[in-house]
Amino acid sequence: MKKNRIFLLLCCALLPALLRAQAPQERESILIISSYNPDTRRMSGFIAEFERNIMASGIPCDIYVETLECKSINDAPIWMSQTENMISRYENKGLRAIVLLGQEAWASFVSLGHIPKDVMCFCCYVSSNGIVLPPPEDSLGMWLPPSINYMNMTDSLNNVGGMLNKYDVRRNIELIRSLFPEAENVAFISDNTYGGISLQALVREEMKNYPDMNLVLVDSREGDEAMHDTYASLSHRSAAILGTWRVGRDGEYLMQRSLNDLVQFNPRIPVFSISQIGIGDVVIGKTVLYHDAQLDMICQNPPFLKEYTGDPELIAAAEKACAEAGVKALVGKIATGDLFVGDSETKAAIEAKCAPDCVEMEGAAVSQIAAKNGVPCVILRAMSDNADEDGHEVLVVKKFSIAEYVATATKIVAAMVEAL
């Protein structure tokens, strides 16, 4: 009879395991493999906190950080080769544990098919769904791999654990059916990354539960023209789901405006998102307005506007800088008001009034003065809380660290200035 294993573990579970196993007279090593640049906000925050906990525990070990610099799926064979080489290199340094940050690092490790003996392995920022690497070289452009569930692989992944996120595709489909019962087609929009292709595989699997609905794939691997044609041809009985939109067929970063251009080929189609803007993510102000002022009165004076538009060149620079910093960004609407939004009732009232992507307290004033004086302007806001009753908990208990985000904000602004 097989023993039940608990696979969903927090990475901090590494500490007691190492404490039990450590040899006082020897220094061991922990290898952290990051999918992306470890200097990006999310990765650097995790690594810094991890190192603090290890040091506080008194474990005599060295921590090494390596990165795969993952981008498009075309480089998947390189990720796997790099991962194997990194592990081999550190096995000679008393390797005790491996921490894998991001889906690409995790998938590359699992796809190798073997785990170093007596080495514990942990993952973070990983989804429970995935695909097996590498893709076949002769069919990369049209590769449609099956979706796998890492939770079902616990018997073969001994000494492996981590924190897995789960995408609820069925709930998205049910939401579409409840709001648009006439919908017959679901168009899934995805890109040329591991995340995009693995999400697409999951959606293809889940759509088997809805035989009365047609799945249409809008895939950046097809190129702009083919994507535009596919999206434009959707009937009015269609809805779209946005997956991952980060890298195009050519391996270059996709900008938010390319997504806006795509949906404008069929603007009647409602668009839903599997993922959403969350704490630590950035909203780039395409439009900025006041949510608690008399707009009819404001627009009677220069610059005679009810809302203010971000400069297109600055928006493009901000998108590129956020992408390169590994920060999730949305180009959208920012609402400014003279109060801290910390309850669901106020939040709902603001949503009903102007449907912003975030709220804050300064952006519209800055934008108004810039527009009055003809100065190009764009507002960027990092999400510190969800504008609800948990706001105090988020800020005080440090789910969002202002100090840690300063370095990332500086990097984004510096990259924008350099790009202009």
pTM of this structure: 0.65
Q: 403: which 2 tokens?
A: 């100090």
- Using pLDDT thresholds of 50, 70 and 90, give the confidence band for residue 276: low
- Tell me the average pLDDT of the chain: 83
User: Does residue 347 or residue 404 have the better pLDDT?
Assistant: 347
Q: What's the Rg (C-alpha) of the chain? A: 23
Neighbouring CB atoms inside 10 A of 286's CB total 21
Higher pLDDT, 117 or 242: 242
pLDDT of 7 above 50: no
User: Which residues fall within 8 angstroms of residue 25, CB to CB, at 6 or more apart?
Assistant: none
Res. 130 pLDDT band, cuts 50 70 90: very high
- Which residue pairs, CB below 8 angstroms and at least 24 apart, start in 401-409? 401/45, 404/41, 404/44, 404/45, 404/48, 405/41, 405/280, 407/41, 407/44, 408/40, 408/41, 408/44, 408/325, 408/327, 409/382
The count of other CB atoms within 10 Å of the CB of residue 157 is 17
Percent share of the chain, pLDDT over 70: 84
The token pair that represents 236 in the structure block: 């009015």
Confidence of residue 154 (pLDDT cuts 50, 70, 90): low
Tens digits of residue pLDDT in 23-59: 444 678 999 999 987 666 667 778 888 888 888 888 7
pLDDT in tens, 86-98: 999 898 888 889 9
For residue 65 the two structure tokens come to 């950080």
Distance CA 52, CA 117 (A): 27
Read off the pLDDT band of 152 (50, 70, 90).
confident
State the average pLDDT over residues 299-328.
88
Amino acid at 66: E
